[in-house]
Copies of this chain bind each other. A is one copy, B any other.
Amino acid sequence: MVRNIKLKISYDGTQYHGWQTQLNRATVQETIEQAICVVMKQKVNLTGSGRTDSGVHALGQVANFTADTNIPEEKIKIALNSILPNDIRVIDSVDIPIEFNSRFDAHDKTYMYQIYNDNVWSPFYSRYSYFVPVGLEIDKMVEAAKHLVGTHDFKGFMAAGSDVKTSIRTVYETKLIKENQLIKFYINGNGFLYNMVRIIAGTLIDIGKGTKSINCIEEAIINKDRTLLGQTAPAQGLFLMNVNYNDR
């Protein structure tokens, strides 16, 4: 029987050239598709909720595929994890109505950008954070992040050459937490443009350092101007935390 299977996936992106399959390069999508092929003896096409870049991590990426199989849903997770490398884990595998599409049905996503703010970087966070060894004014960063919330044209917040139909996105919530040396910036929205979260993170860091003003985010929204914002923060600090759907 042909079924639609939804997977929740966690991965350390360090060793992968991002999510999406590319010729002659290890990607997360292809690695999982190959594992499914071994388990189910059939080629499948795994649809992710969206791409993640080279070096970006995920705690709760969502993907789905259709396959003709009798393996019980909860056993799919176990079978795939027995084949996948340790830096990719399937956290959950469930049957979902055949019309479900991980990408088009996604309602909102949360990303987290992790900053390591101390005078020496920890070896245990060098794969998982961006090292900022100077003092940051957290209050200013929190204040500036509030200007992101709402439905805006984020044209100024994307990498040059991005090809999208519309650059209007809705940000529902932002949150910035400091836990010892770690500063974690969470952003939840209905979708994100290419490099949008990394540009926001880089800008917030510059605001924390005092090299950009609190108002630069508001101004960049109004003027749709990338040059008003800060650097694009590096990939290894970025985590796709979860993807929410209306139904389940």
Considering only residues 73-96 of chain A, those with a C-beta below 8 Å from chain B are: 77, 81, 86-91
Q: How many residues of A contact B (CB 8 A)?
A: 19
CB closest residue in chain B, given A11: B123
Are the C-beta atoms of B11 and A120 separated by less than 8 Å? no
A38 → B minimal CB distance (Å)? 19
**Which residues in B have their C-beta under 8 angstroms from that of A88?**
123
Q: How far is the CA of A122 from the CA of B90 in the complex (A)?
A: 10
**Which residues in B have their C-beta under 8 angstroms from that of A81?**
120
Are the C-beta atoms of A86 and B126 separated by less than 8 Å? yes
**Which residues in B have their C-beta under 8 angstroms from that of A124?**
10, 12, 57, 128
**Choice from B87, B91, B122 contacting A126 with Cβ under 8 Å:** B87
Say if the beta carbon of A172 comes within 8 Å of chain B: no
**Which residues in B have their C-beta under 8 angstroms from that of A123?**
10-12, 57, 86-89
Say if the beta carbon of A121 comes within 8 Å of chain B: yes
12 contacts between A and B (CB under 8 A): A10-B122, A10-B123, A57-B123, A86-B121, A86-B123, A86-B126, A87-B123, A87-B126, A88-B123, A89-B123, A91-B120, A124-B128
* Contacts beyond the supplied A81-B120, A89-B120, A90-B120: 17 A-B pairs with Cβ under 8 Å: A10-B122, A10-B123, A10-B124, A11-B123, A12-B123, A12-B126, A57-B123, A57-B124, A86-B121, A86-B123, A87-B123, A87-B126, A88-B123, A89-B121, A89-B122, A89-B123, A91-B120
Q: Which residues of A contact B (CB under 8 A)?
A: 10-12, 57, 77, 81, 86-91, 120-124, 126, 128
